[in-house]
Amino acid sequence: MTVLDPPRPAGRPADAPARRSRRRPVGLAVLAASLPMFMATLDNLVMTTALPVVRVDLGATVSQLSWFLNAYTLTFATFMLPAATLGDRLGRRRVMLAGIAVFTLASVASALSTSAEALIAARAVQGLGAAAIMPLSLTLLASAVPVAMRGAAIGIWGGVSGLGVALGPVVGGAVVEGVSWQAIFWLNVPVALVAVPLLLTSVSESRGTWQRLDPVGTLLLGGAVSLGIWGIVHGNDDGWTSAGVLVPLVVSALLVPAYVVWARGRSWATLPLRLFASRGFSVANVVGLTFTLGMFGAVFLLSQYLQVVQGYSPLEAGLRTLPWTAAPMVVAPIAGALSGRVGVRALLVTGLVLQTVSLAWFAWLTETGQDYPAFVPALALAGIGMGLTFAPSATAVLDGLADADFATASSANSTIREFGVALGVAVLTAVFLGNGGQLTPVGYDGAVGPALLTGAGAVAVAVVAALFAPGRPAPSRD
């Protein structure tokens, strides 16, 4: 019984409230939980195909281009765990609705930005709203569907999540070419107007265990990643041994063990260390970090490569990524349904191997100057691999954990994956620039290949981690 359940009349079975809540259409619950999450994940990379246009319009530098993405992903990642804690306290649906409101208002501010600095600030606030959407959507979904349907529902959720991130370049390209780059953000307004009433009518309110907030832990973790990414982004321009780069990198490295010391023995820590006792949780987070680092750093570079080197318009470039971006929506639900039969390990290993091969293939294709048709098989391979990774990874995160830990666990995984996106953009861009790369038709020669191979190496680490994933999910505790 949740905090908001009414008193049960005498003689009513103990599970009556649960049966009543499950009479809500499952399909609508899945849609209600997934639509806001799609909006939030779409904005991860929706600007990638718009960056050449925004760069000219706002006079942005290469460093600022990366911050248009990283300002969003960093606040997104840093505040997901505190948002999950607030959801447990105040009501998950209520906090998610507040997140949608903040996200939408910040989208309007992004659309109205007239300088690079204003856009970066608005994107940071937008990420703050997304932090209250992403983790709570999975928690609300898991509690809204019967246990027997949870694997398939999480599979659909994972597919929509992957589709939102992967379709970002396509949607961004279409909107930029058809209207303007500002319209990318105006699109979020009607989506929010549909999502809010759908969430109110299709998903019941729920709460978790009341626990303390952890501002110290949040600052330690957020500071570690923010300072680390700052140093990586500015390393090539300012010099890797300069004080403005070296000091943030050193402090970032020290903040990680400082957090471990702080969190030890604190059950209410932002990222409770006890969760890492679950093998599925630990493996899923290693996979989430390294997989997103490699793949989404590659999306950032390849989306611009198609425009700058191959000469496609933003829309044409976005459409040409469809063999990659469309596959997860088809493959992820199937993978979610199969995870209970074959286990997450087989699906994760297969998907990650396919992605490692695709990135190495991309490196060869770009460095040898192949035309677009040669990219199609590699794009399809990457999409199938991503589809096989999203849903099993989301399932593994919750494997063997009590329902009360679902919000924190899913928030932690989402946090780590968002950190991976930010690190991927920063690291692969640093490798690209470090090898003499420039945003010109000949500036990718000899630079994009090493960057993509760096991404392939990161995903290869995820393959090794996936070998330790549970063979089959643990029995449900419901």
Residue given tokens 């971006």 in the structure block: 325
Residues 6+ apart with CB under 8 A from 361: 377, 378, 381
Neighbours of 471 (CB within 10 A): 9
Cβ atoms 194, 187 nearer than 8 A: no
List the chain domain ranges: 25-202+266-466
Instruction: State the maximum Cα–Cα separation within the chain, in Å, rounded to a whole number.
Output: 77
Handedness of CA 44, 375, 320, 163 (dihedral sign): negative
With a CB cutoff of 8 Å and minimum separation 6, the contacts of 12 are none
| CA 199 and chain centroid, separation | 21
Residue 332 CA to residue 347 CA, distance in Å, equals 10
Tens-binned pLDDT, residue by residue, of the chain (478 aa): 333 333 333 333 333 333 444 445 667 777 888 888 888 877 876 777 788 788 888 888 777 887 888 888 888 878 887 887 788 788 888 999 999 999 999 999 999 999 999 999 999 999 999 988 877 887 787 777 766 676 677 767 766 766 676 667 777 777 887 788 888 899 889 989 998 998 888 887 877 666 677 889 888 988 887 888 888 877 777 788 888 889 999 999 999 999 999 988 787 787 788 888 888 889 999 999 999 999 988 987 887 898 889 988 877 887 888 888 778 778 877 887 787 778 888 999 999 999 999 999 999 999 999 999 999 999 999 989 988 987 788 778 877 777 777 767 877 787 788 788 878 888 898 899 889 888 788 888 899 999 999 999 999 999 999 998 877 644 545 4
Two tokens, residue 15: 């599970």
Q: What is the pLDDT of residue 5?
A: 34
Q: Output the CA–CA distances (angstroms, integers) from residue 358 to 130, 302, 370, 453, 456, in the order listed.
A: 30, 12, 15, 10, 8
Other CB atoms closer than 10 Å to residue 1's CB: what's the count? 12
Residues 6+ apart with CB under 8 A from 459: 290, 291, 294, 295, 352, 355, 356, 359
The pLDDT value recorded for residue 20 is 41
Tokens of 421: 């996106």
DSSP per-residue string spanning 349-381: HHHHHHHHHHHHHHHHHHHTT--GGGGHHHHHH
Instruction: Please indicate, yes or no, whether the overall pTM of this predicted structure exceeds 0.85.
Output: no
Cα–chain-centroid distance for residue 46? 12
pLDDT of residue 187: 86
The amino acid at residue 51 is: L
Check: CB of residue 87 under 8 Å from CB of residue 205: no
Q: Tell me, what's the pLDDT at 378?
A: 95
Distance from first CA to last CA of the chain, Å, rounded? 13
Q: Which CATH class is domain 25-202+266-466?
A: mainly alpha
* Buried/exposed code over 255-290 (b: 16+ C-beta within 10 A; e: otherwise): beebbeebbeebeebbbbeebeebebbbbbbbbbbb
